Each structure stands twice: as structure tokens, then as C-alpha cells.
Amino acid sequence: MQLDQIDRQIINSLQEGFPVTEQPYAEVAERLSLSESELIARLERLLADRVLTRFGPMFQAEKLGGAFTLVAMSVRDDDFERVADIVNSFPEVAHNYEREHHFNMWFVVATDNPKRINDVLTEIELDSGYSCYNMPKQDEYFVKLKLVV
């Protein structure tokens, strides 16, 4: 999909944050010289076309009583898409990406309670036939990443 200049402005702008106000979409739309309905329609299209895979808040799961972990899997190349579909079917999976490494599938699991982490990983292993390598956080660092499109 080709992104036009307005799509790029939306993506670049929203990486800086989303206002917590009564009408956040209207506020962002005004800042971008768009109507609120056009902004919402473009976001819906970007999500439907999978240009954006997620649009929503980022929570600190542990502060809310939950947990999260980084997970790696070693998946055969010819089976990667099938396993990715299984992993991505879990609402607890925040994002999933491919790496050029023996451990070629990496994803984050975030749950509303710590016990659910093991349940999700067991279910993924049973459904996929591959082992999950759970790597819970030992230390926390904040890295601000902004992708400019």
C-alpha cells in the first residue's frame, strides 16, 4: 500500500502521543488540518490494510497487577506463516516479528495476571508444535523509538 503525505503525517504525529481529552480525535485532526471523521477513517484504513497493526494505549502491565514477557521461537521457514497466525490469534500477544536468526520469531505476551503468561505459552506450544522460550524482564530500560515514514 502506498502512503500519501497525510497518512505519513498521521503516523508520525501520533507516535508523539495521543491527547487525553474529551475529544482527542478532534484535537489531533485539527492539528493536522483534517476533519475528525477523515482522521478516524484513515486510521481505520491503515489498520485494515495492516500498515498499522495496533492503535491504542500502552499500559505498564505490572503496575496494573499483570505481567509481560519477551518470547522467542525457532520456527521452520516453511511453517513460519502458520505459526505466526497461531501466535497472533492470542489477544495477549502485543506484537510479533521475524528475525534472521536461529530464533526467528519474537513476540511479547502481556497478561492481566502473571499466571496467564505460562497458560498462553503452553497453549501456543500445543497449537503450534514448537517450544516457546520465555525471557521475563530482569531490568527495565526506556528507549524512545520513533519510526519516521
Which tens digit of pLDDT belongs to each residue from 3-44?
999 999 999 999 888 999 999 999 999 999 999 999 999 999
Helix/strand/coil (H/E/C) assignment for every residue in 94-127: EEEEECCCCCCEEEEEEECCHHHHHHHHHHHHHH
Alpha-carbon gap, residue 121 to 123, rounded angstroms: 5
Indicate if the alpha-carbon torsion angle 81, 82, 83, 85 is positive or negative: positive
Choose which CATH entry (3.40.50.300, 3.30.70.890, 2.160.10.10, 3.30.70.3460) describes domain 61-136.
Answer: 3.30.70.3460
CA 139, distance to chain mean position in Å, is 21
Position 92 scores a pLDDT of 92
> Structural domain boundaries of the chain?
5-48, 61-136
CB-based contacts of 28: which residues, under 8 Å, 6+ apart? 13, 14, 18, 19, 39
Amino acid identity, position 129: G
pLDDT for 24: 95
pLDDT for residue 133: 97
Residues 6+ apart with CB under 8 A from 5: none
Contact call for residues 93 and 117 (beta carbons, < 8 A): no
Average confidence (pLDDT) over 79-103 = 92
**Considering the domain 5-48 in this protein, what is its CATH number?**
1.10.10
pTM of the model: 0.64
